[in-house]
Amino acid sequence: MPQLKHFAPDTDPQVIAKAVEEDGAIVLDDVIDPAFIAALRSETDPYMEGTPDGFDDFAGRLTTRTGGLMARSEKCRTLIAHPVILDACKLFLQPYCQSVQLHLTQIIRIRPGQTAQMIHRDRWAWGTHLTHVEPQFNTIWAITDFTAENGATQVVPGSTELPDDAAIAPELITQAEMRAGSVLIYSGSVFHGGGENRSTSDRIGINITYTLGWLRQEENQYLSCPPEIAKTLDRPLQELIGYSMGQYALGYYTPPGAPGEHPEPAPPQYALGHEVDNAMLGSAADLDAIAGEVGRDISD
């Protein structure tokens, strides 16, 4: 059975990105401490306890999935913006985009008796249309210990190049066993799935994933965290959830109002009260980046 590589929490982001590229998944050990986990649970447990079990086999009939964590939990915001994770994410995804964005936040609680989830790829959120790019950089933070008995995530190391219809032999599957406070980092292309919980206690993890700035997000961040809530966040978090241009001419809007009242068009930051110099489709740097990619002057 293959094994996942484990790294220290202060590992260089370039090393992390390279390891995820090579193996599809790795573990960073002991990134957050028990005090942090206790504070996080005090913020999120009420929402988790109010979440019903899933209604199909894939979601898990003895599994709860609680989202909207950017708006609901200050401690979850710290995880979302973790500098080592974000730096590794940007390095990993930069061949395919000019900016990254938050894709999904979800507390996944696997209850005792839950059977193993189907082995799958997270990039299937967009069907099988993205085989030519890597669209995701994903994390599962262990809020409880992850063990073979309680449903530690199943992973198929090295499976990123397999075809989507590949038959995954059981001997290729390992489990992401890790202590509470550790984090599984994996790509959108690696085969994986929730494990079977044969224990008598819940297995709790927080799934935070990131994607290319030009793709539609799985969790609609603009509804989960609308402008009146997003205004209270630090600006880097505002931009990470999508209140920013995805690249030049991608993500602007026309503010409602009387003729001439607002700039037209405007970048998403304007919806949160940030000043903009002029109506714009994107920055000069964004336009230069596009021009560099296509190898021609597109300023006219």
Q: What is the pTM of this model?
A: 0.92
Residue 37's pLDDT is what? Answer: 98
Cα–Cα distance, 172 to 192 (Å, whole number): 11
Residue 299's pLDDT is what? Answer: 52
Residue 123's pLDDT is what? Answer: 96
Residue 91's pLDDT is what? Answer: 98
Residue 247's pLDDT is what? Answer: 83
What pLDDT tens digit does each residue of the chain (300 aa) get?
Answer: 789 999 999 999 999 999 999 999 999 999 999 999 999 999 999 999 999 999 999 999 999 999 999 999 999 999 999 999 999 999 999 999 999 999 999 999 999 999 999 999 999 999 999 888 999 999 999 999 999 999 999 999 999 999 999 999 999 999 999 999 999 999 999 999 999 999 999 999 999 999 999 999 999 999 999 999 999 999 999 999 999 988 878 888 888 999 888 888 888 999 999 987 655 566 667 667 656 665 655 555
**All domains of the chain, ordered by start, with CATH?**
6-221 (2.60.120.620), 246-300 (no CATH)
Residue 102's pLDDT is what? Answer: 98
